[in-house]
Amino acid sequence: MPPRSRPPIELRSTPLPLAGLKHRVWNSPWVLLVLCNLFWAGNIIVGRVVLAHVPAVELSFWRWTGAFAFAFWFAWPHLKHDWRVLLQHWKLMLVLAATGIAFFNTAAYIGLAGTTALNVLLLQSCLPLIVTIWAFALFKERPGAWQLLGVALSLLGVALVAAHGSVDALLTLRFYSADLWSLGSAVIYGIYVVLLRRRPDVHPLSFMQAAMGLGACMVAPFYLWDLSLGMHMTNDWGNFVGIGYMAVFPSFISYLFFNRGVQLIGGARAGQSTHLMPLFGSAMAVLLLSESLYFYHLAGAVLVGAGIGLAHFMAPVRSAEDIALGR
């Protein structure tokens, strides 16, 4: 029996939530990339508000359960075609779902519940350099001298932000626990980014749907445990609106926008756009959450930015492309 053909990917024939947008927007890579990073930054800002009324584990569970439910109709035609391939790679899918969906996201929300959105945005902005470290640890990809210098500068910036600008805390390595959760989430996500090069050769929507479903199932036991302890969100419409935003925009639409941007201009160039996220998020945190911007935030951002610049612009293109494939 000849193999079934894959469902078409073109916008005209594949139902997408973008159907109402003008055709020229779908073919404008930087419009799409700016929007997807804006939505990702909004996830941190909205999460900071919602976490005042929703436990972190519950928020993680409903974000990915909602994303799975919303994306199912769009992904189902491709999932019917690809499920056998996904099943053949079930071990890798479990690892990718655990690191990229379940544990990364839950750790990020636990950290966000105890620190500011500004801190989370700046701490997670060192992700490209964390990926460099994991690429060496898992695949023996040796970083060059410029990348090592970039790592050192970025880590110094991260330490400055995590210690809230305290010289004593820097010298004694006294970090705030919430900041360590945020930084740990980036470390977990770095594993996911590096392992993405091994992901099954299936349609992006099939992969996303399977990863989101597995990730939600992994968070479910911890969510049930919290419920047994009486930890649950308040019955407020704002919580449902916030979770709905997280499920639709940063969890699903942003990935479609980013994938289209990669298709139009390539992974390396599209990957550079992810550094728009801390810029957008920092501005929103100051304007919408009335968070204070301190000198150590600016100094840390400069150091992290300098480290990222050295790692990207002075290193081979492959590193940036690997990072882009995982975002």
**Got the DSSP string for 20-86?**
TS-HHHHT-HHHHHHHHHHHHHHHHHHHHHHTTTS-HHHHHHHHHHHHHHHHHHHHHHHHHHHHHHH
Is 0.85 surpassed by the pTM of this model? no
In a domain, 14, yes or no: no
In a domain, 73, yes or no: yes
Residue pair 122/278 in contact (Cβ under 8 Å)? The answer is yes
Q: Kindly give the parts of the chain with pLDDT less than 70.
A: 1-22, 125, 128, 143, 147, 151, 154-155, 158-159, 161-164, 166-175, 259, 262-263, 265-275, 279, 307-309, 311-327
Q: Single out the residue of 43, 73, 68, 326 nearest to residue 219, CA to CA.
A: 68
In a domain, 5, yes or no: no
Give CA torsion, residues 222, 226, 229, 232, to 10 deg. Answer: -160
In a domain, 18, yes or no: no
Residue 315: the pLDDT is 54
In a domain, 141, yes or no: yes
The interaxial angle of helices 90-97 and 204-228, nearest 10 deg, is: 60
The separation between CA 215 and the C-alpha centre of its own chain, rounded to angstroms, equals 14
In a domain, 232, yes or no: yes
Domain that holds residue 35: 25-325
Residue 190: the pLDDT is 85
Number of domains in the chain: 1
Q: Single out the residue of 242, 308, 251, 297 nearest to residue 69, CA to CA.
A: 251
Residue pair 196/93 in contact (Cβ under 8 Å)? The answer is no
